[in-house]
């Protein structure tokens, strides 16, 4: 899988304000490139490639992990008045020397909970380095103050080559809630990680289940190239369980491997129960059919599921009847990654991860600025 206030513009309609819309970072070329789905660019980042995204009110939060490429910027930030501001501050989001347990090392997935708090998963991984003790963790913030409201170090559920990717927070199970984390793994050992937030109890589940792993023979088409997951060296980001999403009532966790077109679900009542065995969880998995090739996944206020679709430069939506439709397509959607939905818009970061040097014989083909887009949605 693979997860973050205002965006200023001097002209904005009263109707847009009434809808709680974010201020847009409008550029003269956007009109020429806008798709029929009314894609709007809300942020342009000149040098940092974002991955995760969350929106709280009129505040846009982005993550900038370091596992694929190290950088000098913050690993968690807020897009404010047309610029990136470290969140909660530079000491926590930008330091490279402080104790890894007390700072953010490489934030990947980010999300919100039902109480409006911001949560991040820090994979603790800097490109070319081992995960330092205390680096891999789950952190919750009060967005109003930036105060840390919860922190759990991922220890017993962590492997040396773990790749903590995306997360969701379920406040309906456990005294303080339960976190579900996708460990995509850097070495072919993916799993779901379940964390009880009150006790910090944690475990890996379904590590040996084929539905957590990449599909054998997986093939895709990206920027005109037919690519296979089995290629050595790899030609595109791929692997095991990546995107996760919660149903609107938190009763169901959706999950999918990055190198798979199948969508699966599990009842959270079972997943959050540490007494349940792997075999019991495996028996409870529901195959929801084809969903396309997806990295990020998100649900909206009505429970519809949105997925990114890198091989179509698009965003898909699974409606309440189980059928999928395309809600946006745009040539600028080069590997849409993190995705977030609220009652007005679905937001997506355009990561260009397929253009990283490791997929092109050492040549970095990414083309700044890196974009964040949104598409309007309405009730079903």
| pLDDT score at 351 | 87
| pLDDT score at 7 | 31
What distance in Å separates the CA atoms of residue 359 and residue 77, rounded to the nearest whole number?
A: 27
What distance in Å separates the CA atoms of residue 234 and residue 290, rounded to the nearest whole number?
A: 24
Question: Residues 6 or more apart from 98 whose CB is under 8 A from it?
Answer: 91
Query: For 378, which DSSP code?
Result: -
| pLDDT score at 198 | 98
| pLDDT score at 4 | 33
| pLDDT score at 10 | 30
| pLDDT score at 15 | 35
Residues of the chain with pLDDT under 50: 1-34, 36
The whole-chain average pLDDT of the chain stands at 91
Residue indicated by tokens 């964040």:
372
| pLDDT score at 363 | 95
| pLDDT score at 19 | 38
Tokens matching residue 138: 């789950």
Q: How many Cα atoms are found within 13 Å in the side-chain-facing hemisphere of 299?
A: 23
CA 324 from chain center: how many Å?
Answer: 20
Query: Which residues, listed in sequence order, are joined to residue 178 by a DSSP beta bridge?
Result: 170, 196
Q: For the domain with range 14-376, which CATH number is right: 2.60.40.10, 2.120.10.30, 1.10.1060.10, 3.30.300.130?
A: 2.120.10.30
């Amino acid at each position: 899988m693979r997860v973050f206030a205002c965006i200023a513009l001097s002209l904005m309609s009263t109707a847009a304000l009434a809808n709680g819309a974010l201020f847009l970072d409008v550029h003269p070329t956007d009109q020429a490139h806008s798709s029929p789905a009314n894609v709007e660019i809300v942020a342009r980042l000149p040098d940092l490639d974002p991955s995760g995204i969350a929106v709280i009110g009129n505040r846009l939060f982005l993550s900038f992990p370091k596992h694929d490429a190290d950088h000098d910027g913050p690993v968690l930030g807020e897009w404010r008045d047309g610029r990136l501001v470290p969140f909660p501050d530079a000491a926590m989001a930008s330091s490279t020397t402080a104790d890894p347990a007390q700072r953010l090392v490489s934030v990947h997935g980010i999300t919100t909970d039902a109480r409006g708090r911001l949560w991040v998963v820090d994979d603790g991984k800097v490109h070319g380095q081992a995960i330092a003790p205390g680096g891999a963790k789950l952190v919750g913030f009060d967005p109003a103050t930036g105060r840390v409201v919860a922190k759990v170090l991922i220890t017993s559920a962590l492997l040396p080559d773990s790749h903590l990717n995306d997360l969701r927070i379920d406040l309906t199970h456990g005294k303080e809630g339960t976190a579900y984390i996708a460990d995509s793994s850097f070495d072919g050992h993916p799993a779901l990680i379940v964390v009880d937030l009150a006790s910090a109890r944690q475990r890996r589940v379904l590590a040996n289940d084929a539905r957590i792993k990449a599909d054998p023979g997986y093939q895709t088409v990206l920027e005109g190239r037919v690519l296979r997951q089995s290629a050595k060296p790899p030609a595109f980001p791929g692997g095991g369980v990546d995107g996760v999403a919660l149903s609107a009532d938190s009763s169901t966790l959706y999950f999918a491997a990055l190198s798979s077109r199948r969508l699966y679900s599990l009842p959270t009542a079972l997943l959050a129960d540490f007494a349940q065995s792997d075999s019991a969880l495996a028996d409870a998995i529901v195959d929801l059919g084809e969903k396309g090739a997806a990295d990020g996944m998100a649900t909206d206020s009505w429970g519809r599921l949105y997925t990114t679709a890198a091989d179509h430069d698009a965003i898909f939506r699974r409606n309440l009847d189980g059928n999928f439709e395309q809600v946006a397509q745009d040539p600028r959607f080069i590997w849409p990654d993190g995705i977030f939905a609220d009652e007005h818009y679905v937001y997506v970061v355009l990561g260009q991860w397929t253009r990283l040097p490791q997929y092109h014989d050492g040549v970095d083909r990414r083309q700044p600025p890196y974009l964040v887009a949104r598409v309007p949605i309405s009730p079903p």
